Amino acid sequence: MNFYQSKIWRYINENIYKKPVFELEIFWKKYWGIEKKHKKMGIWFSWFQILWVKFPSASDEEIKAELRKVKSTFWKWNNIFFQFGFINQLEEPFFENRKNIEKFLSQYGLYPSIRENMPLATVEIDLTKSEDELYQNFSKTAKRYVNKWKKMGLIFSKANEKDIENFYKIWSDVAKYKWFYIYDYPTYRNLLYYLEEVDKGWLYIVKDTNGEIYAGNIFIINQWIGIYLYGAANRNFQKIGPDYFLKWELFKYLKKNLVKKIDLLWISPSGYENHHLKWVTQAKKALWGKVIEYWGNYDLPLNKVGYGILKFR
């Protein structure tokens, strides 16, 4: 799955999220990335990011030469660091091998990122399986909630205009409670307009007969893969599992529309008990897909003093 270097994700970042985009050839392959800026005391500081990069099999000198090229291209006193999202997969045991990779990459001046912008781990669901196989793979908890909400008459549907507005309120409420960032309403709406225009995804919800939304997911369809981009459950009901029912109905819907695989994106990596994604990881793993862990996000400091201040502030 190459979502983070896909044309659709580039378009969304450049034209919907309004982020500056650049191109770079690194490790003998062309990539695109984004520049992020922050204003402090009247001065703009920047850092740069390329996600979904394959760390190459090459000599130490060749790798160091490539990284020197990045430094020489992007060095300015107010450019703080360059971030890579490495998609090389870890083998089990995940935690021990992640620590080995950290040690390996440190010899090239690459350090575990101060910000996670590409998932360290994900769950993939194989939709080529039959509906019965998919359902049998669910945990007992997931099955119980699917059956509960089916009996309660919860309705799965694509969101209408009123649903779009109501879901944003739910998403905003969850974001404030969980302390994570979401885009403003016009950006959120423009994202959905674009996905509708190119027929590459939408907001899918479950709601009751009165129209109250219990949970919602924004999915992007990239070729034959469904990408779980954003989602939230109504805080009045999130402890009683409507999101399991939503996932089940959504899996069936996407399967009928010829999607072959689902990438649920963010879960916490193995061995990090206090990771900020712990609260979503259990729910996604309950769907019993394939867990994949990546090398993840690493920083190449451009301004070591500035990077140190940013890292330890």
Q: In this predicted model, which residue has the larger pLDDT, 279 or 92?
A: 92
Q: In this predicted model, which residue has the larger pLDDT, 248 or 274?
A: 248
Give the residue-averaged pLDDT of 147-169: 96
Nearby residues of 104 by Cβ (< 8 Å), 6 or more positions away: none
Distance CA 63, CA 56 (A): 8
The β-bridge relationship of strands 290-301 and 261-263 is unpaired
Q: Please, what are the domains in the chain?
A: 3-119+294-312 (3.40.630), 129-259 (3.40.630.30)
Respond yes or no on whether the N-terminal peptide bond of residue 93 is cis (omega within 30° of 0): yes
**Predicted confidence (pLDDT) at residue 281 exceeds the cutoff of 90:** no
Give the residue-averaged pLDDT of 178-190: 89
CA 78 to chain centre: 28
Distance CA 174, CA 234 (A): 8
Q: Give the pLDDT band of residue 313 (cuts 50, 70, 90).
A: low
Q: Give the pLDDT band of residue 175 (cuts 50, 70, 90).
A: confident
φ and ψ at 182, to 5 degrees? Answer: -135, 160
pLDDT digits (tens, 9 = 90+) for 221-240: 988 999 999 999 998 987 78
pLDDT digits (tens, 9 = 90+) for 192-213: 999 999 999 999 999 999 999 9
Give the pTM: 0.92
Q: Tell me, what DSSP letter sits at residue 231?
A: E
Q: How many residues does this entry show for the chain?
A: 313
Mean pLDDT of the chain: 93
How high is the pLDDT of residue 21?
Answer: 98
Distance CA 295, CA 113 (A): 11
Q: Give the pLDDT band of residue 312 (cuts 50, 70, 90).
A: low
**Predicted confidence (pLDDT) at residue 75 exceeds the cutoff of 80:** yes
**Predicted confidence (pLDDT) at residue 113 exceeds the cutoff of 80:** yes
